[in-house]
Amino acid sequence: MVPRLARMLALAFALALTALPAWADDYETLVTSLGSDNFADKEKAITGLGTLGDARAVPVLQALSDDRLRTGPNNQVLIVAPNDPTKVTDAVTGKEVTGVAPDSLTRVIVNNRLRGNIEGALGGLTLFSPDRDTRLAAARDALKHPSVESVARLNKAITGETDSEVRAAIQKSLYAAQVVSGTKEQQLAAIANLANDTDPRIKSLLDEFAATPNLDPEVKKAADAAIASVNQRLQLIGIVANLFQGISLGSILLLAAIGLAITFGVMGVINMAHGEMIMVGAYVAYVVQELFRAYLPPGVIDGYLIVAVPVAFLFAGLLGVILERCLIRFLYGRALETLLATWGVSLVMQQAVRSIFGSPNKEVSNPSWMTGGFDPMGGFTVTWNRLYIIVFCFVVLGGLALILNRTTFGLQMRAVTQNREMARAMGIRTARVDALTFGLGSGIAGMAGVALSQIGNVSPNLGTIYIVDSFLVVVFGGVGNLMGTLVGALTLGIVNKVLEPVAGAVLGKVFVLVAIILFIQRRPRGLFALKGRMAET
Amino acid sequence: MSDPTQARARGAWGPGFWAAFIGAGVALAIVVPALNLWVSPNSAVAVPDYIVPLLGKYLCFAILALSLDLIWGYAGILCLGQAAFFALGGYAMGMYLMRQIGARGVSQNPILPDFMVFLQYKELPWFWHGFNHFAWAALMILLVPGVFALVFGWLAFRSRVSGVYLSIITQAMTYALWLAFFRNDMGLGGNNGLTDYKDILGWDVHSPFTRLGLYLATVLGLGLAYLICRFVTKSKLGRVLLALRDAESRVRFLGYSVTNAKLLVFTLSAVLAGFAGALYVPQVGIINPSEFSPGNSIEVAIWVSVGGRGTLVGAVIGAIVVNLGKTWLTGAFPDSWLFVLGGLFVVSTLIFPRGIVGLFRQLRRPSPQQPTTMPVEEQA
């Protein structure tokens, strides 16, 4: 009994012994044959190392590709350190070898074909790296050169992979490799799986594949169908991306134009300095940010934006009230002259800001919760700052609707908009309503400036960029009506962004301007004009 | 007991007017060239060569201001795109001057201007044909802004766009043109515009003699433009314009065609502005899209406002005074110019709504009753 057990143990031991060296042996023979003079042998060795999945091969292949691999006496394969030619290590054991004269070694020569193989093998090997990000990068990289070898490697990698994101990336590369090199069934299955993908590389891979001659008709049909489906998805994504861009631009226009629409509606006054109120708001954001940086611990820097919004509202609003009290009320009833006077004010404000802050652009950085973005459907990124601005814009709009419809001040404002004389006769202090309306409109412009500072640079002529566009929103949407401003701004934003890829940014804008001029033919008072007697003046 | 209106109409072309008009013309057309040509350069009253095109430039702006005063002061149309018509006329002149360069350009192409060679045009775009003839160019200088204004004005006035709405739409118009002219595909030199002119009607544009000639042409042009504007404003049409400025609906109810009256004067004003632009371009040597910038058109309104609108002569004075100030201040205190310009807008609308001319008239006759020179805007 005992001898039998001993024999079995001995056998097991022997098996284990032979198995272990066999594994090590494989690696050793492959590395040794890298030193062969025959290119075919070298190629086999490189591919072998690639499929073996042994991380020790990475520095060896790297050295080979960098021309740092040498053969010494006894066919020993040696690696020369990249920055120190006297330091030599054994490629198999990884131990340093001393007492070898560098010039006695023979260089292992590679050609371009081998370099390609090395790159593929290295890409495959990093699939087994312990570092998750390296694996993910390797899995994505494998998409670039799909081949028969990579199928084996990817298959091996996917079985051991636990991270779901890496797994998905490997799976995608595996499908791509199978399309190129698999059997007909594998090809069909892989194509069907890739048809839902919108990665531009997949699309070009499929395009290339469908164009290869002598393709099995069934496979070709599947590939063509997949390409059509990918194109359709890409088109859909394009539309959604345009829509998002358009809504984003529309929300910015809306923020810029709301204040203008209110003051124009209530007072019949065109405030050309409105753009400068936006600019002032952006500079408030800049100043608040600098104050936070200078006086508060770095941990609360993200909060500067929360503080900047009300500060900008109050500051710009105060400027608006001052402007109304000191200038505009004296020009009541002379709308064209008000336009010119406020234009003068806008020039003075621009130059004043330029004197204080200098003309170079100032940078306002996004708080950390507004940086970056996410990809909802593969192919375009929704950035947080734009998304927050859209949300912010609707919050402002909602708040304004509440003020207009639920407060006494709002009621008075609407009354003055509809019939100033009658409102005054009913005891509304119109002068006070005018000043507060102007302050409210300017305050909203200030908040718009804070929002704009989040998506671009802050400069003294920030306001002039938006002023003509905001006027067009008001003209298009009609006056004294929030709904009109909302529809006007979103329409202009979306039309602008949809036209941009078709006609180019500049020509698209020209088209929009011409369209508005023609639109005024049909509805001279805008989309949502006030109706009845009060609209006659 | 004569009819005061008729008396005023007779007085408009009386000997007093002609004496003042010819006196001003002589001062500009004879004294300035004489001081330039025959006075020794060291003398205190000499006009150096570089001053001549500068004065010519101011006079071009004066014509532009006149054209705006005609529609703003008399018909209540505040067009904030007047500089666009000016630039359109300027571009027409620029195209003629570009064709005159011929094979003397950098690329030595006898047909294509340099920028087209750089942009790899194979042949001349269709709208460039004919601009090698001065007569065609002169026609286009008047026609292009005129037809543009006619179409634009027809669209605007037909649907009764007026007041601040019209101002904004004209601003949008010049903004659209501004963007469009920046494009290289327009075939008009893109961002760089048209420049490097060699000669006009065979004379070298850089020689002092040609510059004096251009200056004299501008003086004559200003005189002509002034007479045209005065003729229009003193005519029956002028009285209709004043009436519709003050009470548009009433004029319409009385049976006048407000649209046609406005359209006529708007088109005339655009033609005058284009004419001014054409005189301007050879004197400054360049035309580029920045002339379309929306701010430029608004600046014209301030020239008129400073001089006194609804007076014609005020527009001329305002344009010259404000631009003299601009030249001096941008040289002496570059940072202060925008403060001054902005201040002018505020002060001239708030404190001196009648401008320089109104101030003088007030000093002469302290009675505030001046219905024709003090426009009362309709409440918008």
Q: How many domains does chain A have?
A: 3
The residue behind tokens 């998506």 is A455
Residues A350 and A416 in one domain: yes
**Nearest CB to B172 within list A270, A345, A513:** A513
Last residue of a domain, one of A180, A215, A250: A215
CB B322 within 8 A of CB B303: yes
Q: What is the identity of the amino acid at A520?
A: I
- Confidence at residue A8, expressed as pLDDT on a 0 to 100 scale: 60
Chain A residues in contact with B156 by the CB 8 A cut-off are: 517, 520
**Nearest CB to B338 within list A331, A347, A516:** A347
Residues A12 and A58 in one domain: yes
- Asked, for residue B380, whether it belongs to a domain, the answer is no
- Asked, for residue A458, whether it belongs to a domain, the answer is yes
- Asked, for residue A222, whether it belongs to a domain, the answer is no
- Asked, for residue B208, whether it belongs to a domain, the answer is yes
- Alpha-carbon distance A351 to nearest alpha carbon in chain B (angstroms): 6
Residues A466 and A349 in one domain: yes
- Confidence at residue B38, expressed as pLDDT on a 0 to 100 scale: 84
Residues A255 and A146 in one domain: no
Pairing, β A88-90 against β A96-97: antiparallel
- Asked, for residue A25, whether it belongs to a domain, the answer is yes
- Asked, for residue A120, whether it belongs to a domain, the answer is no
Q: Would an 8 Å CB–CB cutoff place B350 in contact with chain A?
A: yes
Element containing residue A383 per DSSP (H, E): strand A382-383
Q: In the numeric block, which tokens belong to residue A506?
A: 């500049």
- Asked, for residue A63, whether it belongs to a domain, the answer is yes
- Asked, for residue B119, whether it belongs to a domain, the answer is yes
- CB contact (8 A) between residue B155 and residue A344: no
Q: Would an 8 Å CB–CB cutoff place B151 in contact with chain A?
A: no
First to last CA, chain A: 118
- Asked, for residue A122, whether it belongs to a domain, the answer is no
Q: How far apart are CA A244 and CA A441, in angstroms?
A: 27
Would you give per-residue pLDDT tens digits along chain A (537 residues)?
Answer: 456 666 666 655 555 544 444 455 677 888 888 877 788 888 888 877 777 767 777 778 878 888 888 887 777 888 888 777 777 888 777 777 777 776 777 888 888 888 878 877 777 777 777 777 777 777 777 777 777 767 777 777 777 777 878 888 888 888 888 877 777 778 888 888 777 777 777 777 778 787 777 777 888 888 888 888 888 888 888 888 888 888 988 998 999 898 888 888 777 788 889 999 999 999 999 999 999 999 988 888 888 999 999 999 999 999 999 999 999 888 887 888 888 899 999 999 999 999 999 888 988 888 888 888 887 766 678 888 889 999 999 999 999 999 989 999 999 988 888 888 899 999 999 899 999 999 999 999 999 999 999 988 899 988 888 888 888 888 888 776 788 889 989 998 888 888 887 777 788 888 888 888 788 777 777 777 665 554 444
- Asked, for residue B167, whether it belongs to a domain, the answer is yes
- Confidence at residue B96, expressed as pLDDT on a 0 to 100 scale: 94
- Confidence at residue B105, expressed as pLDDT on a 0 to 100 scale: 84
The residue behind tokens 């330039």 is B36
CB A259 within 8 A of CB A274: yes
**Nearest CB to B160 within list A335, A350, A524:** A524
Short-list B301, B302, B309, CA closest to B358: B309
- Asked, for residue A211, whether it belongs to a domain, the answer is yes
Residues A390 and A328 in one domain: yes
Q: How far apart are CA A275 and CA A464, in angstroms?
A: 6
- Confidence at residue B366, expressed as pLDDT on a 0 to 100 scale: 62
Q: How far apart are CA A458 and CA A462, in angstroms?
A: 6
Disruptive mutation site among A271, A347, A469, A521 for chain B (greatest number of B CBs within 10 Å) = A347
Residues A256 and A291 in one domain: yes
Q: Which of residues 367-386 of A touch B (CB under 8 A)?
A: none
Q: Is the dihedral of CA A492, A497, A503, A508 positive or negative?
A: positive
Q: How far apart are CA B307 and CA B324, in angstroms?
A: 13
Residues A109 and A140 in one domain: no
- Confidence at residue A10, expressed as pLDDT on a 0 to 100 scale: 60
Query: Which structural domain range is residue A24 located in?
Result: 2-113
A346: domain CATH number is 1.10.3470
Chain A residues in contact with B163 by the CB 8 A cut-off are: 335-336
CB A86 within 8 A of CB A95: no
Q: Would an 8 Å CB–CB cutoff place B342 in contact with chain A?
A: yes
- CB contact (8 A) between residue A345 and residue B342: yes
Percent of chain B with pLDDT over 90: 50
Residues A61 and A146 in one domain: no
More confident residue, B257 or A103: B257
Length of chain A in terms of residues written: 537
Chain B residues in contact with A334 by the CB 8 A cut-off are: 349, 377
Using the predicted structure, report yes or no on whether residue B377 has a pLDDT greater than 60: no
ipTM: 0.85
- Confidence at residue B370, expressed as pLDDT on a 0 to 100 scale: 47
Dihedrals phi, psi of A373, to nearest 5 degrees:
-175, -170
Q: How many domains does chain B have?
A: 1
- Asked, for residue A119, whether it belongs to a domain, the answer is no
- Asked, for residue B365, whether it belongs to a domain, the answer is no
Instruction: Provide the pLDDT confidence category of residue B186 given band limits of 50, 70 and 90.
Output: confident
Query: Which structural domain range is residue B100 located in?
Result: 21-293
- Asked, for residue B376, whether it belongs to a domain, the answer is no
Residues A396 and A320 in one domain: yes
- Confidence at residue B372, expressed as pLDDT on a 0 to 100 scale: 45
Q: Would an 8 Å CB–CB cutoff place B341 in contact with chain A?
A: yes
Disruptive mutation site among A264, A339, A359 for chain B (greatest number of B CBs within 10 Å) = A339
Neighbours of A405 (CB within 10 A): 11
B239 Cβ contact list (under 8 Å, min separation 6): B5
Q: How far apart are CA A531 and CA B2, in angstroms?
A: 48
Residues A33 and A153 in one domain: no
- Confidence at residue B334, expressed as pLDDT on a 0 to 100 scale: 84
Residue of A nearest to B158 (CA): A521
Dihedrals phi, psi of B2, to nearest 5 degrees:
-90, 155
- Asked, for residue B201, whether it belongs to a domain, the answer is yes
Residues A400 and A466 in one domain: yes
- Alpha-carbon distance A258 to nearest alpha carbon in chain B (angstroms): 17
The residue behind tokens 């959604």 is A240
Last residue of a domain, one of A64, A79, A113: A113
Using the predicted structure, report yes or no on whether residue B91 has a pLDDT greater than 60: yes
Residues A207 and A255 in one domain: no
Chain A residues in contact with B341 by the CB 8 A cut-off are: 344, 347
Neighbours of A499 (CB within 10 A): 20
- Asked, for residue B10, whether it belongs to a domain, the answer is no
